[in-house]
Amino acid sequence: MPELPEVETMRRGVASACGQRIVRLRWTRCALRPLAVRPNRRTIGSRVAGRRIVQVVRKGKFLALVLDDDSALVLHPRMTGLVLVEAPPDREHLRLELQLEGPGPRRLLFWDRRGLGTVEWHPPGSWRQALGPPRLGPDALEVSWQQLRDRFHSSRRAIKVALLDQARVAGLGNLYAAEVLFVARIDPRRPCCRLCDAQWRRLHRAMGRVLREAIRYEGSTLGDGTYRTALNRPGNYQNRHRVYGKAGRPCPRCRTPIARIVQQSRSTFFCPECQRD
């Protein structure tokens, strides 16, 4: 589930690891589904040991620990991954531990309940390209409204579906796409090619507003309780959701019952009255 606000919250939470030296990378014993690791565990361990973390960078939904030789350890939480500096929710799903030395936290942990996350090491100077085109489009907090329009306007896909394409714009997932479209008053079923400039501007403003607000409240911890901050605390933005997960409840603007539809096997929540554009 972690989307841009959750990964940005993780980034801020582990930023205190900057300046720390990685003493050892330890892959913990886990009988569950293993993480996807590239190139391989042995190579990653040998390349990062002894290196100092100089920067923690977020690109879309990816978190990069940039090292002092300009290589990077890139973590992708995907559905249930967490990056922590405090004790994890449990030991059973702990996947990776970086033992650190220096004035900050003593360890950095990667925990993943479902094992869908990935760990990648990129050689010096290559991580920026690896986390850019064609894999990732511009960040949802950095893209201009013109870029947003130009990257989508020729597509016949429904706008909600299109916004999930990380190669077009990076960071949005199912939850925040629904919230952004509600704030922008745009029907999630509308084809991208049928949006006018005024709607693209509204969408861009709504994207910045929703994402920054969600970061301020440290992300959304849903009913399963999986998402936690780097300090193993729940987020608070779930208490401010407008439409996500609220099918049948009154719209916060017009009191019309929130509708739920399925788009490409994912639930979409919207107001049939407010979101007619």
* Angle, CA 176 vertex, CA 173 and CA 177 arms, to 5°: 75
Phi, psi of 120, rounded to the nearest 5 degrees:
-130, 145
pLDDT of 30 reads 79
Residue-wise pLDDT tens digits, 191-226: 999 999 999 999 999 999 999 999 999 999 998 889
Considering the domain architecture, whether residues 155 and 241 belong to the same structural domain is answered as yes
Residue closest to 59 by CA, chosen among 119, 2, 117, 8? 8
pLDDT of 32 reads 83
Q: The domain containing residue 156 runs over which residues?
A: 145-270
Which positions are catalytic? 2-3, 61, 266
The CATH number of the domain holding residue 33 is 3.20.190.10
Q: Is residue 138 part of a domain?
A: no
Considering the domain architecture, whether residues 95 and 169 belong to the same structural domain is answered as no
pLDDT of 31 reads 80
Q: Which of 130, 158, 177 is the last residue of a domain?
A: 130
pLDDT of 225 reads 87
Number of domain units in the chain: 2
The CATH number of the domain holding residue 177 is 1.10.8.50
Q: Is residue 135 part of a domain?
A: no
Provide the Cα torsion 75, 81, 86, 89; round to 10°: -160
Considering the domain architecture, whether residues 17 and 116 belong to the same structural domain is answered as yes
pLDDT of 65 reads 98
Write down the residue that tokens 């980034």 correspond to: 11
Ranges in the chain, pLDDT < 50: none
Residue-wise pLDDT tens digits, 47-66: 999 999 999 999 999 999 99
Phi, psi of 11, rounded to the nearest 5 degrees:
-60, -45
pLDDT of 235 reads 97
